[in-house]
Amino acid sequence: MNPNRTPVIAGNWKMNPAAPGDALALANGVAERMGALPIETVVCPPTIWLESIAVALAGRIGVGAQTMASQEKGAFTGETSPLMLAGLAGWVIIGHSERRQYDGETDERVGLKTASAIAHGLRPIAAIGERLEQREAGETEAVIDRQLRAAVSQLERIAGSGLAVAYEPVWAIGTGNAASGADAQAVGAQIRAILVELGGEAAAEVPILYGGSVTAANATEFFGQPDIDGALVGGASLDPDGFAAIGAAAVGAVGR
């Protein structure tokens, strides 16, 4: 981590927990433990609970959506508009690999959604990463290059836009098989170089998160890397103590 960049620790709850009372308790538990930390803490609950959680949290920590439509309104059954999110959420995950895999999220749509999020005052966490067969075929660099350029292709500017990028190797998500710190750093450096190429030196400010089986036990390895500025956490974000321990590791890594 670079002490000049504020760490971002985001929890992707996916389709959990099943009961609204449990979701509120989880959000409050995270806020109690992490609200005072000098980092950006973000919880991303299922859409249906965004409003109640945003009200309960009252700004103590950040709230994010797990996806959104790029359009503002219209005939898009089941979707959520950025206009509906604005005011409730400050962040939104775009292009998570589960959306790419199960919901046909394409590189092109990721680009449109990332730009739409920024246009509506939301901070997108653009998620990119290679699948196992791509890694084994030596295609990681090419996949990252393609997905990242597509994600930022519709932006007028990168620096100052609020963009964050999450490197999430698909083979590491929910498997317990995290990447090594060195692998995450190699891709983190590639991402930062592309951002600077496209957006100038100021684009180096964009936070780059690692995601994929991050836990309190391995977080320090990632946060010790110069181009990793935080984590996008799935399973471990459902336990407030474990998630807070990841936040504490981020605080330690930047010496705040």
Tell me the catalytic residues: 96, 168
Among residues 12, 70, 218, 225, the one that binds ligand PEP under rule CB under 6 A = 12
240 binds ligand PEP (CB under 6 A): no
As measured in angstroms, the least distance from the Cβ of 12 to ligand PEP is 4
Q: How many residues does the chain have?
A: 256
Query: Two tokens at 184?
Result: 């995450």
| Gap between the Cα atoms of 233 and 44, Å rounded | 10
As measured in angstroms, the least distance from the Cβ of 69 to ligand PEP is 20
214 binds ligand PEP (CB under 6 A): yes
Lay out the site mask for ligand PEP across 155-174 (x = CB under 6 A, - = otherwise): -------------x----xx
| Gap between the Cα atoms of 135 and 114, Å rounded | 25
15 Cβ partners below 8 Å, 6+ apart? Answer: 46
Task: Specify whether the backbone of 170 is left (phi greater than 0), alpha (psi in -120 to 50) or beta.
Answer: alpha
217 Cβ partners below 8 Å, 6+ apart? Answer: none
Residue with tokens 């190797």: 169
Lay out the site mask for ligand PEP across 174-213 (x = CB under 6 A, - = otherwise): x------------------------------------xxx
Query: Two tokens at 216?
Result: 């309190």
As measured in angstroms, the least distance from the Cβ of 117 to ligand PEP is 17
Among residues 53, 152, 186, 233, the one that binds ligand PEP under rule CB under 6 A = 233
Interface ranges with ligand PEP (CB under 6 A): 12, 14, 168, 173-174, 211-214, 232-236
